[in-house]
Amino acid sequence: MDNNKRPDTMERITTPELAQKFIDEQVQAVREQVKDGKVLLALSGGVDSSVVAALLIKAIGQNLVCVHVNHGFLRKGEPEQVIQVFQKELGANLIYVDAVDRFLDKVAGVADPEQKRHIIGEEFIRVFDEEAAKLKDIRFLGQGTIYPDILESEKGIKAHHNVGGLPEEMNMELVEPVKLLYKDEVRVVGKQLGLPENMVERQPFPGPGLAVRTPGAITRDRLEAVRESDAILREEFANAGLAGKVWQYFTIVPDFKTTGIVDGKRSFAWPAVIRAVNTRDAMTATIEEIPYDVLHKITERITHEVPGVNRVLMDLTPKPTGTIEWE
């Protein structure tokens, strides 16, 4: 039997009862696979790795070793939430790696988007490898591979980082308990495992994170402007009831400045750009109409609360011609 093929008879997981049945089966399967062995898991805090972490904690407890690498490009509050939920609430064996300075040094002065992505991806593997090397006797690698990753890899659409890559180099056996699930099913399972709503319903977030929303050469202050403006945007979307309705929304802070007036004085500062799109499969995307009162509120808050920003713009470009991210 092909272990990477979802059986036609497999029921779609849509209810808490079906999720519980799936969890019970997987807990059993993982225990049989790893016995008293240890499993290493890169826990980003995204939906898939979080659900796998919660599932593996249930199955093997302290024999799961989670590594959370903070590369500095995470959204506001994310590393703190990972520590709170997994270490404090679920009692996970969690190694938190503060690699912020290291990543920022690596990308300093690098303006080319592809080069930036490449550097961040490579450095991530290096940091993770270093952590793995410090641990002894770990034969298993947990991964948040989901079914669309397998399908896309098979069709050659993209070599998903969850399918091939890390494990080959590391020579470890994979533990992939949600690999036959679609995203919506992973969310139902995550809720049943007791993960917080905002973690399970999280919008997609690129691996290189806020780095691709700080176009050009990244500086700390502009990166902070992206992080703060993104936090305000998310808060106001939630307040306006838009959080579940818009597929992806975020801000970009481009590398140019314009003149303005702040507190009666001339300012020369960046704009923050709002991007809010809807899509089915991220291959094409349409622009969401956001009510003007919400946009005014966001503009007011960003220009007053985010250091270095004196203007707010909105990106009205569908995909194509724009991609969703700016880099």
**Binding stretches for ligand XMP (CB under 6 A):** 204, 206-208, 248, 282, 319, 323-325
DSSP code of residue 87: I
Q: How far is the CB of 228 from ligand XMP (least distance, A)?
A: 19
The SS3 assignment for 82 reads: helix
Of residues 196 and 207, the one with the C-beta less far from ligand XMP: 207
CA 185 to mean position of chain CA atoms: 18
Of residues 59 and 181, the one with the C-beta less far from ligand XMP: 181
Of residues 77 and 206, the one with the C-beta less far from ligand XMP: 206
CA 151 to mean position of chain CA atoms: 20
Q: Is the peptide bond before 258 cis (omega within 30 degrees of 0)?
A: no
Q: How far is the CB of 204 from ligand XMP (least distance, A)?
A: 4
Instruction: Give, in degrees to the nearest 5, the angle at Cα 60 between 54 and 66.
Output: 55
Q: How far is the CB of 320 from ligand XMP (least distance, A)?
A: 9
What is the identity of the amino acid at 84? Q
| Residue 173, C-beta contacts closer than 8 angstroms, at least 6 positions apart | 33, 139, 140, 141
Of residues 165 and 207, the one with the C-beta less far from ligand XMP: 207
- Candidates 211, 288, 206; CA nearest to 247 is 288
Of residues 36 and 114, the one with the C-beta less far from ligand XMP: 114
Q: How far is the CB of 135 from ligand XMP (least distance, A)?
A: 26
Q: How far is the CB of 210 from ligand XMP (least distance, A)?
A: 11
Q: How far is the CB of 206 from ligand XMP (least distance, A)?
A: 3
Q: How many CB atoms lie within 10 A of CB 206?
A: 16
Answer whether 258's CB lies under 8 Å from 279's CB: no
Of residues 4 and 279, the one with the C-beta less far from ligand XMP: 279
| Residue 211, C-beta contacts closer than 8 angstroms, at least 6 positions apart | 73, 107, 116, 117, 120, 218, 223, 327
